[in-house]
């Protein structure tokens, strides 16, 4: 393996030549991205996360993206009731892997930016340039109450996040002592060493879905994650969305990569895949948790007709929580993921009902198909490079 320099180019490419990056999303949270009572649901225990990180690293998976979640959503399983804190989780994984990029997901309002900047540097030094930062401005009231922190209104939340990331970037780059005088943050005599690996900085992503959230990402981040349904309508609609985002970034003099999210149920036959998806997402849905998540989005039985509410409940359990589902044989899943790449998306963060059960088939059957389609480099080359 060549020595890593930690250049921004290497970091953005996640240290390999794969055109379509594939990551695993949400494995630090119990049940991950499927609110299910199925016995196969994900534990998110450290031994399972470690096994998964190492399996993913060897398989050539590009990144692991955790969810910043502090409080479960209730229901029979208390969906996301058990979660590993993302920075400490990332450090453990970075120390135990060689190639994979690992993100930490940080709620800007909950972390002092100078402490956070040092945590990021520490993770980045451990991973030799493989740490990435997912900034979250916050949306879940109940989580903030738990910290005694009041949630700012939506616009102000992003103004604060803008200042916060500026302070972090200065701590990463200032060669000496500095003061930071912002509207929210007033920091005196800041000195922060060491700097990130290779004298550059970690890759930064954000997943705001509103206009303000998207504008924040364009201005401050390298990668923008979108869960918009445009991506699955058609190749043309997805390509249009990607071009729009990239053009808006260019108007600001910036380059940004667009990523999306999805859930994968891959089985040898379409019938098996469809049956498992139905079993996990619908028959065994944890409806209490699904309803709580809908309530947080102000979707309740009071403000929708019974038919509309039922449709939303089903849609949320089946499609929305985990992102659009890629369900089928290796041929079908590979073809649909290839479409994501052909539309100009840089990558996709996927989840499985049970990562350790489901990754081996994906690794053995879907990844080689994507290699043959030219979207990913052959594994022996990735390991050598
Ligand atoms: C890929 C992806 C990852 C996200 N990760 C988190 C997370 O870990 N924790 C969290 O509280 N919100 C997370 N969110 C929610 C977003 O940060 C954001 O709050 C949401 O998309 C609403 O956007 P807005 O702030 O522009 O209204 C994520 C969203 C997406 C699409």
Best residue for ligand 1 mutational test, from 207, 218, 261, 293 (most atoms within 8 Å of Cβ): 207
The CA R_g of the chain, rounded to the nearest whole Å, is 20
* pLDDT tens per residue, range 95-114: 999 999 999 999 999 999 99
* Predicted local confidence at residue 37, as pLDDT: 98
How many whole angstroms from 215 Cα to the centroid of ligand 1? 14
Is there an atom of ligand 1 within 6 Å of 109 CB?
Answer: no
Please give the Cα distance from 302 to 362 (Å, whole number). 42
Nearest to 227 by CA among 206, 246, 200: 206
Q: Report the pLDDT averaged over residues 167-185.
A: 98
Q: Using a pLDDT cut of 70, give the percent of the chain over it.
A: 98
Q: Which atom of ligand 1 is nearest to the CA of 216?
A: 26
How many whole angstroms from 260 Cα to the centroid of ligand 1? 12
* pLDDT tens per residue, range 48-92: 999 999 999 999 999 999 999 999 999 999 999 999 999 999 999
Beta strands in the chain (DSSP E): 21-25, 63-65, 101-107, 131-136, 178-181, 186-190, 203-206, 223-226, 257-266, 324-328, 347-351
Is there an atom of ligand 1 within 6 Å of 299 CB?
Answer: no
Is there an atom of ligand 1 within 6 Å of 38 CB?
Answer: no
* Predicted local confidence at residue 45, as pLDDT: 98
* pLDDT tens per residue, range 301-345: 999 999 999 999 999 898 878 788 999 999 999 999 999 999 999
Is there an atom of ligand 1 within 6 Å of 262 CB?
Answer: no
Which of the four pLDDT bands, split at 50, 70 and 90, describes residue 385? very low
How many whole angstroms from 207 Cα to the centroid of ligand 1? 5
Q: How far apart are the first and last CA of the chain?
A: 5
Average pLDDT, the chain: 94
- Cβ–Cβ < 8 Å for 231, 238: yes
Q: Which atom of ligand 1 is nearest to the CA of 214?
A: 26
How many whole angstroms from 48 Cα to the centroid of ligand 1? 24
Please give the Cα distance from 32 to 58 (Å, whole number). 22
* pLDDT tens per residue, range 267-298: 999 999 999 999 999 999 999 999 999 998 89
Is there an atom of ligand 1 within 6 Å of 139 CB?
Answer: yes
User: pTM of the prediction?
Assistant: 0.96
How many whole angstroms from 203 Cα to the centroid of ligand 1? 17
Q: How far is CA 82 from CA 27, 49, 137, 230, 280, in A?
A: 11, 13, 21, 32, 19
Please give the Cα distance from 124 to 33 (Å, whole number). 26
Q: What are phi and psi of 223, to 5 degrees?
A: -135, 135
Is there an atom of ligand 1 within 6 Å of 110 CB?
Answer: no
């Amino acid at each position: 393996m060549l020595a890593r320099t930690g250049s921004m180019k290497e970091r953005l490419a996640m240290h390999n030549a794969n055109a379509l990056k594939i990551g695993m999303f949400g494995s630090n949270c119990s049940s991950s991205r499927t609110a299910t009572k199925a016995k196969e649901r994900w534990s998110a225990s450290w031994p399972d996360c470690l096994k998964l990180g190492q399996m993913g690293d060897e398989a050539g998976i590009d990144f692991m993206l955790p969810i910043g979640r502090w409080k479960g959503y209730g229901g029979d399983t208390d969906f996301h009731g058990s979660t590993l804190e993302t920075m400490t989780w990332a450090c453990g994984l970075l120390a135990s892997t060689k190639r994979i990029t690992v993100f930490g997901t940080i709620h800007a309002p909950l972390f002092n930016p100078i402490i956070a900047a040092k945590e990021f540097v520490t993770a980045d030094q451990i991973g030799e340039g493989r740490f990435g930062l997912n900034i979250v401005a916050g949306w879940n009231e109940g989580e903030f109450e738990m910290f005694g922190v009041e949630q700012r209104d939506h616009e102000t939340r992003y103004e604060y996040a803008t200042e916060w990331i500026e302070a972090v970037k200065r701590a990463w780059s200032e060669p000496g002592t500095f003061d930071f005088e912002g509207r929210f943050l007033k920091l005196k005599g800041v000195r922060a060493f060491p700097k990130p690996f290779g004298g550059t900085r970690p890759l930064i992503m954000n997943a705001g879905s509103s206009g303000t959230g998207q504008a924040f990402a364009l201005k401050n981040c390298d990668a923008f994650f979108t869960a918009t349904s445009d991506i699955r309508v058609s190749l043309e609609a997805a390509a249009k969305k990607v071009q729009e985002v990239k053009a808006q970034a260019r108007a600001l003099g910036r380059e940004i990569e667009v990523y999306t999210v999805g859930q994968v149920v891959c089985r040898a036959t379409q019938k098996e895949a469809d049956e498992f998806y139905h079993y996990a997402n619908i028959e065994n849905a944890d409806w209490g948790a699904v309803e709580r998540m809908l309530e947080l989005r102000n979707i309740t039985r009071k403000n929708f007709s019974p038919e509309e509410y039922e449709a939303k409940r089903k849609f949320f359990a089946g499609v929305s929580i985990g992102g659009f589902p890629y369900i089928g044989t290796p041929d079908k899943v590979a073809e649909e993921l290839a479409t994501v790449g052909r539309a100009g998306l840089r990558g996709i963060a996927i989840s499985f009902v049970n990562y350790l059960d489901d990754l081996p088939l994906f690794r053995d059957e879907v990844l080689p198909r994507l290699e043959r389609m030219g979207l990913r480099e052959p594994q022996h080359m990735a390991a050598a490079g």
